Structure 1
Amino acid sequence: MNRGFGFSPVSCLWRWCSGLVPSLCWTLYCCYCSLLQHQCKMLLDHRSRSEMTRMVSARTNGATPLVMAAKNGHLSCVEYLVERCNADLEQVGSVVFDGETIDGAPPLWCAAAAGHLDVVSYLLEKGANVNATTKTNSTPLRAACFDGHFEIVKYLVEHNSDIEVANRHGHTCLMIACYKGHFEIAKYLIEITANVNRKSVKGNTALHDCAESGSLDIMKLLLDHNAKMDVDSYGMTPLLAASVTGHTHIVEYLISRTDLISRKDKIDALELLGATYVDKKRDMLGALRFWKMAMSERYEQGVMIYPKPVQQSPIAAYENSIEVMTLQQLDEIISDPDEMRMQALLVRERILGPAHPDTSYYIRYRGAVYADTGNFDRCITLWMYALDMQQKILEPLSPMTQSSFVSFAELFSFMMSEAKNRGRRVPVVNFCDMMRVFEKCLREVEVGMYQLTKVVSGCNGILANGGERDTTYFHRTLVITMHLVCLLTKLGPALTSLQRHAMRKAVYQLVQLDPRGSGGATPLHLACSRDSSATVGRFPICTFPSLEVVTLLLEVGADPCATDEQGNTPLHTLASNKQCRRELLTALLAAGAHLDTLNRSGQSFSSLRTSRGQRLHQLINPLHHTSLQCLAAATLRRHGLPYDTILHPRLAQFVDQH
């Protein structure tokens, strides 16, 4: 019974109680060793109630013993923890299912999700709340529906589980059963009158979920029970959803239902399915077949009765391509794969509209394919078009817009690094392209600041969950902006005087906005922080702290004495890094930073570096950077003189920092 831990089960329990090792040993053994129940009794039966309560309430990696025992189906352990140790039936924990962490999961939810009917039955008999939810408002019934545990679904429903409780996204038990393709569960829920036309937060119904997952049998069942072909918040019908995901059998079935689908709906679905075949399935002949079917539907007795909308003007990003209008033109483009790809982009933008995520996604995808083949100009043109579209349509600080900025930064970084590789001929990054992206990023920062102001004022100064999310998104946008600034500095030696002026002017605008990231960090704080090097995308872009970025920010007026919410100046941020470069320190000091400035914890640059094992004199001579003014301020603070009532407020603030 060692199990590789080096201790017997009882020894592990004893050591946990003694505080010698974490509660992990006890929790793991409770969950995974049925023989441990007897040994638990030997150890715990003589314990006081308060000791038992403390032990069964302890968390390991976010999970209590009862949560883990329920998740792993150890009924005997569950019984002992509940009956002998008085474990709280509703005490929640964090568990991992299929690689995803579920926060706030009750024991009943864990047992239902893992498919342990005996544990579910026992917990309900003991009075567990059948409708208790996780942090995302998922019920035990929804958990059982997700993984297809039909017997548990029936048992929970028979014990008064509410089939209409939706999670935070508005997805019901029926919706998840449809999406996961669990026919028996979907049929059962429909038979007990689950609402087949209920909508999620984004407006999709169970029919949409069937279309996206390819569950034709369940779709037929829903339609037989009066499910409606409705639209979601993007204007997508289940038919279009099937076309986008490429489920041909769903599309073919629905377009055969003339009682449900109009001729125009059929045309749009076939054209969109053709676009999916081009970009997702890479099947040009299949795409041509569906486009021909759609084109034939536009004609009746040789006359086009459903003409395509006339394109107002050619789109430069699509190589000025226009949509084909006849069967003959379709036959001509099959020999030109690039033209087929442009047709797919045109079709998708016309039918889905610029607001749909797939529209910009596939524009960016096509650009990435061009980049992989070395055609960077085509890639940048397409990505710029997608970015323009996102900033016009999406709300400020959208993750999709952030993703576009990250992609540009990664592309520019790759091009610049590969340009040094003599084995490959890669074009130098165009300054105008990088400046356009930076200016758009600057605009995102500006509108993001306004968005945060609205959120805070709307919450009376207290950030709600949405406000916290926006703050996180804004910080990430600001970090991406700093990576773009870093890339611009790398172009410096090759720039003309006019280009250098344009770059400095744009960075000056950033500094004047005075944007603040998480914890009140300014751009100069971020430029001095090693944390800004953390990969914001799939690949590393720039390394921070960056002397070039710090120097540029200081040159255009960044305040070296600005403080964040904890009173840290950029010097404090620099001192908190594992390594501290002398050049960065002297650049900040030369710009007016004060070595003896204290943060709210009373720490200076020197004390922070000392805690990192580096003395100040190893970097610089502090006497060369200490003024009489600083010494006087420190003396006033040290002797506790009432300077705040005598000095000018600005001088008093200066003394406060020393």
Structure 2
Amino acid sequence: MPIKRLIQVREMPKNKSISVIENPEHLKVFKSVVFQSAREGKLNKLKDVLDSLSREEVKYIVSTVTESTTPLLMACRHGHLEIVNYFIEKCVADYEQVGSVTFDGETVDGAPPLWCAAAAGHFNIVQSLIKHGANVNHTTFSNSTPLRAACFDGHYDIVKYLVQHKADIEVANRHGHTCLMISCYKGHFKIAKYLLELGANVDRKSVKGNTALHDCAESGSLEIMKLLFLRYHAKMEKDAYNMTPLLAAAVAGHRNIVDFLVLRYEICKHEKINALELMGATYIDKKRDVLQALKYWNRAMEERYKDPRKVVRKSKPAELIPAYEYAVEAESAEELENIVSDVDVMRMQALLIRERILGPAHPDTTYYIRYRGAVYADSGNFDRCIQLWMYALDMQQRVLEPLNPMTQSSLLSFAELFSYMMSERNGQRVYSNLSFVDMKTVYLKGVAEIERAMSLSKPMPLQEKDMLNFNRCLQILMHLMNLVAKLDCTPDHAQIIKRATYKLLKLHPRGMHGYTPLHLAVDKETSAVGRYPVCCFPDKNVVSLLIDCGADANAIDINRNTPLHIAATCLKDNCEVMTFLIESGSHIDSCNSDNKTALELVKGACDICPMNYITLKCLSAKIIIQHNIPYRGHIPCRLEAFIEAH
């Protein structure tokens, strides 16, 4: 709004009521100016606006949350000390009121002003807030303290000041990560040393069992590693994945940490060999350095055979793995020399080593299998990619819990790959030999993942996080369904897909808002499932497949919307799917919780004549509802539901 208009608003005569608060238009103007001034540090403009208001109006506006944040939080985030003091001293702003702030693209919810100032490194604002009485240990929703925020970005002066004002150095966030752990992970030696001198617990474990030593190992902070290990005698513990700091450093590829611990840390021979072999695998997959990989694998061979009386043999798999092209691990330096010229064989060695040492449950095991498959796909070798990805997906569904994000990622990657392979370039399909067996197998695995997830909800309903994961998994499956529905396949193949889809529908899965698969099939929001486009919804092929397999065309969500209602909101200018749903039995006159029919939602954009589809039974139901005629107990139960839908 122009300044002239703003002045007119300010100069309006006040009565005893809080006029600005009661007038939405005026309130919106004032809030906008206050937030903009707090962000940009324009104190004079802020005073000019707020000084004309009553104390109650000022307090109301300053405490208003807009887009999950407050004016005070905004001033703290951008380092405007004078505005912070003005808000607290003149406007009586609540210096403990929380909101959301963004750092490096990450949104932190429930952040108090002191946390925000500490994270941003504004020492003078931290001082001011504490002098005014801010709680030095007030945490965010994820239980992060202002001290941890300062440790994260290495604000040493703020760390010292917070500690001097009784900040608790041992408060951990919801993941169990302490201030010492985060300073080690971020490589802030001075802060880590200061916390250790204060008596920080050097061996404390996070929820997943990692210690400060693990954080050093994963970040490559050798200087802090030496401090922890040599001066404070930190213990070499194992985390939830059975990983020691030495193995964690090898997986991360930090040569300085691995060489230091291998030479100075009293470890068992087996762990030393594992670390050297993992380091070689990391050089293959992460650093693409075959010569360095060979160097570390040779060092591991030397350790294996150093003592002829105590040779450490490699454990052999029960059977050779087709996805690795039946590769076997080298057993001697000579065998390593023979394969060094074949890069593909070396890559399979790395995958074999990682699976043997880390095991199938470790995230890096399947991650690098999928990474190697992606490299093959980039070079046009789709068959090798599918083979490796299928092996990784089998492994994930065998060892991980249902709805694990890694399993979902694998299913989505397959959908993206199949979509690309089925797309056309210059009038020709990118890949003409896409196997029905491969697509069918992945689709069946998607249905199996939903079935596994549904077993979790039988004892008790899914929690919010699990529900979000379930909804995402169901959306991914809808994209796989879209792809298989487009295939030109034999009647036998079509029956396989229909049986799997029938099995899915018999599970009665429900996503967010109580959506059934048929709701998702006609919802345009289903299209947005990943970073890259896969399939577009609504899709008639998917709707047809679901109807053929027994999907209820009149199923309702939590707002009593049928699939026809959802289609109406997505298809303002396209009636094909709506017409198909109606002809498949969807009642055109069913009302949602807002008492709206689908045709009322589409607002005349579709040229559908309702009288062509309304039956005498529908009209009878309408009459019963309109005249409040008692019907419960007087008609068959199946008709009661029919009447309620109208």
Q: Give the TM interval when normalised to the shorter protein.
A: over 0.9
1:155-174 counterparts in 2 under 5 A? 155-174=161-180
Match for 1:635 among 605, 608, 623?
A: 623
Distance in 2 between residues matched to 1:304 and 1:279, nearest whole Å: 31
Q: How does 1:219-368 map to 2 (within 5 A)?
A: 219-223=225-229, 224-259=231-266, 261-300=267-306, 305-368=311-374
C-alpha distance 272-22 of structure 1, shift in aligned 2 (>3 A) = farther
State whether residues 354 and 393 of structure 1, in contact with CA within 8 Å, keep that contact through their aligned partners in structure 2: yes
Tell me the SS of whatever aligns to 1:103.
strand
Q: Is the 8 A contact 1:12 1:26 kept in 2?
A: no
- When normalised by structure 1's length, the TM-score is 0.93
What is the CA-CA distance between 1:654 and the residue it aligns to?
Answer: 1.5
Shift of 1:645: 5.0
Q: Distance in 2 between matches of 1:481 and 1:133?
A: 39
**Distance in structure 1 (CA, Å) of the matches to 2:280 and 2:269:** 17
Match of 1:459 in 2: none
Q: What is the root-mean-square deviation of aligned Cα atoms in Å? A: 2.0
What is the CA–CA distance in structure 2 between the aligned matches of 1:12 and 1:353, rounded to whole Å?
Answer: 71
Measure the CA separation in 1 of the matches of 2:345 and 2:608. Answer: 63
* Counterparts of residues 20-99 of structure 1 (less than 5 Å): 21=29, 23-36=31-44, 39-45=45-51, 47-99=53-105
User: Distance between the aligned counterparts of 2:464 and 2:531, measured in 1?
Assistant: 24
Structure 1 residue corresponding to 2:558, chosen from 555, 559, 565: 565
Equivalent position of 2:132 in the other structure: 126
Q: CA deviation at 1:73?
A: 2.0
Answer whether contact 1:203 1:232 (CA < 8 A) is retained. yes
The SS at the match of 2:101 is strand
Pair 639,311 (structure 1): closer, same or farther in 2 beyond 3 Å? closer
CA distance in 2, matches of 1:274, 1:258: 20
* Number of aligned positions between the proteins: 633
Tell me whether 1:451 sits opposite 2:451 in the alignment.
no
Amino acid at match of 1:19: L
The answer for unaligned runs of 5 or more in structure 2 is: 12-19
Q: Give CA deviations for 1:210-264 in whole Å, capped at 9, x if unaligned.
A: 11111000011111202111110000111111101111011000101143x2222
Mapped partners of 1:20, 1:311: distance in 2: 68
More divergent stretch after superposition (583-592 vs 642-651)? 642-651
| Structure 2 CA distance for aligned equivalents of residues 402 and 114 of structure 1 | 35
What secondary structure sits across from 2:459 in the alignment? helix
Residue type at the aligned position of 1:474: F
Tell me the CA shift for residue 452 of structure 1.
Answer: 2.4
Shift of 1:338: 0.2
Deviation at 1:585, TM superposition (A): 2.1
Structure 1 residues 475-505: Cα deviation after superposition (integer angstroms, max 9, x where no partner): 11111111111111111x3x12211111211
CA distance in 2, matches of 1:34, 1:513: 59
Provide the residue aligned with 1:481 in structure 2. Answer: 477
Q: Residue deviations 1:305-346, cap 9 Å, x none?
A: 111112322111100001110110000010100000000000
Residue aligned with 1:162, SS:
coil
Where in structure 1 do 4 or more consecutive aligned residues deviate above 6 Å? none
Cα deviation digits, residues 533-554 of structure 1 (max 9, x gap): 11x2232111111111111111
Task: Judge conservation of contact 2:422–2:430 (CA < 8 Å) in 1.
Answer: no
Using the alignment, how far apart are the partners of 1:131 and 1:13 within structure 2? 41
Q: Would the aligned equivalents of 1:13 and 1:25 in 2 still touch at CA under 8 Å?
A: no
2:15 corresponds in structure 1 to: none
Q: How far apart are 1:10 and its partner, in Å? A: 7.6
- Which residue of structure 1 lines up, in the alignment, with residue 634 of structure 2? 646
Name the SS of the counterpart of 2:458 in structure 1: helix
Q: Distance in 2 between matches of 1:85 and 1:6?
A: 25
Give the residue type in structure 2 aligned to 1:23: K
1:644 partner SS:
coil
Cα shift at 1:425: 6.2
**Is 2:643 the counterpart of 1:655?**
yes
Residue 600 of structure 1: CA displacement?
1.5
Q: Any conservation in 2 of the 1:94–1:105 contact (CA below 8 Å)? A: yes
SS in structure 1 of the partner of residue 457 of structure 2: helix
In structure 2, the residue matched to 1:197 is 203
Does residue 537 of the first structure (1) align with residue 530 of the second (2)?
yes
Asked if the contact 1:24/1:60 (under 8 Å) is kept, the reply is no
Q: 1:336 to 1:118 in 2, by over 3 A?
A: same
* Correspondent of 1:589 among 582, 598, 601: 582
Aligned residue in 1 for 2:16: none
CA 1:580–1:338 in 2, change beyond 3 Å: closer, same or farther?
same
Distance in 1 (CA, whole Å) between partners of 2:321 and 2:329 is 11
**Equivalence for 1:460:** none
Range with bigger deviation, 503-512 or 422-431: 422-431
**1:45 Cα shift?**
4.1
SS of 2:486's equivalent? Answer: helix
Contact conserved, 1:486 with 1:548, CA < 8 A, in 2?
A: yes
Secondary structure of 2:632 counterpart = helix
SS of equivalent residue, structure 2 residue 481:
helix
- Checking the alignment, whether the CA contact within 8 Å between 2:6 and 2:29 is kept in structure 1 is no
Q: Which residue of 1 aligns with 2:613?
A: 625
Name the CA distance, whole Å, in 1 between partners of 2:573 and 2:467: 29
Retained in 2: the 8 A contact 1:277–1:287? yes
Q: Report sequence identity in percent.
A: 54
- The one-letter amino acid of 1:481's match is L
Contact 1:242 1:251 in 2 (8 A): yes
User: How far 1:422 sits from its partner (Å)?
Assistant: 5.1
Q: Distance in 1 between matches of 2:137 and 2:101?
A: 18
Rounded Cα–Cα distance in structure 2 between residues aligned with 1:237 and 1:481: 37
Q: Distance in 1 between matches of 2:123 and 2:10?
A: 32
> 2:115: which partner in 1?
109
**CA distance change for structure 1 residues 89 and 485 in 2, over 3 Å: closer, same or farther?**
same
Q: Which residue of structure 2 lines up, in the alignment, with residue 472 of structure 1? A: 468
Over residues 364-396 of structure 1, what are the superposed CA-to-partner deviations in whole Å (9 max), with x where a residue is unaligned?
000011111111111111101100100011100
Distance 2:38 2:307 in 1: 76
Give the secondary-structure state (helix, strand or coil) at the position aligned to 1:21: helix
- How far off its partner does 1:298 sit? 0.7
Q: Quick one: distance in 2 between partners of 1:95 and 1:12?
A: 33
Q: Contact 1:574 / 1:580 at 8 angstroms: preserved in 2?
A: no
Question: Quick one: distance in 1 between partners of 2:111 and 2:525?
Answer: 32
Deviation at 1:578, TM superposition (A): 4.2
